[in-house]
């Protein structure tokens, strides 16, 4: 009975249809006209489902990515500017992974989804913020990274992603344009059937 369970477990790991990653990253600071958006920590989770055969040397995955950056402080001489923002990105994508069963598996990814920004209740000048509490906009994401296999089912992951989205409400018209939100992160990935 134990041998049968072990064989079933080993066969399940060999197929590796599912990929779940957890990474901690850092959102890069951004200088815009009349305002500076500071850096922030980013917590990320990613799910991937392999679409093609496990025998292929290139894996194609449908993925869903979640990123939360709970605090990014702004700086400006404009006292009406939003004091800080929080960000959330939900982006389905397509990933192409090279040598998915090898010791190092580089990958690229691209897709699009939703960006949600939460604005502070007060401005830099400590007045009530006229911006809405939440704003939503579209987001495109491109990324690249590599998985470094430690065990058949466990890998370390390094990645870089750029979420290109509409702007939060900064209360400064010249700062209201699309923006890049570059995130560098590292963590681990679990692979299973």
Domain count, the chain: 1
CATH number at residue 112: 2.40.160.20
Compute the distance between CA of residue 85 and CA of residue 28 in angstroms, rounded to an integer: 14
Yes or no: say if 126 and 109 are a contact pair by the CB < 8 Å rule: no
User: What digits encode the pLDDT tens for the residues 92-144?
Assistant: 999 999 999 899 999 999 999 999 999 999 999 999 999 999 999 999 999 99
pTM for the model: 0.88
User: What digits encode the pLDDT tens for the residues 165-177?
Assistant: 999 999 998 888 8
Range of the domain at 142: 2-192
Compute the distance between CA of residue 45 and CA of residue 24 in angstroms, rounded to an integer: 9
Buried b (16+ CB within 10 A) or exposed e, 45-68: ebebebeeeeeeeebbbebebebb
């Amino acid at each position: 009975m134990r041998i049968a369970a072990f064989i079933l477990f080993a066969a399940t790991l060999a197929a590796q249809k599912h990929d779940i990653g957890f990474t901690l990253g850092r959102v890069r600071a951004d200088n815009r006209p009349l305002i500076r958006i500071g850096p922030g920590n980013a917590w990320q989770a990613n799910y991937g489902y392999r679409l093609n055969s496990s025998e292929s040397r290139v894996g194609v995955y449908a993925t869903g990515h979640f990123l939360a950056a709970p605090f990014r402080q702004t700086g400006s001489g404009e006292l009406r500017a939003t004091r800080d923002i929080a960000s959330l990105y939900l982006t389905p994508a397509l990933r192409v992974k090279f040598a998915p069963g090898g010791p190092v598996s580089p990958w690229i990814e691209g897709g699009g989804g939703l960006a949600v920004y939460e604005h502070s209740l007060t401005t830099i000048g400590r007045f009530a913020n006229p911006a809405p509490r939440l704003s939503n906009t579209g987001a495109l994401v491109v990324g690249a990274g590599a998985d470094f296999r430690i065990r058949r089912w466990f890998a370390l992951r390094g990645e870089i992603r750029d979420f290109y989205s509409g702007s939060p409400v900064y209360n400064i018209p010249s700062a209201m344009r699309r923006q890049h939100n570059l995130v560098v992160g590292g963590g681990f990935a679990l692979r299973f059937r």
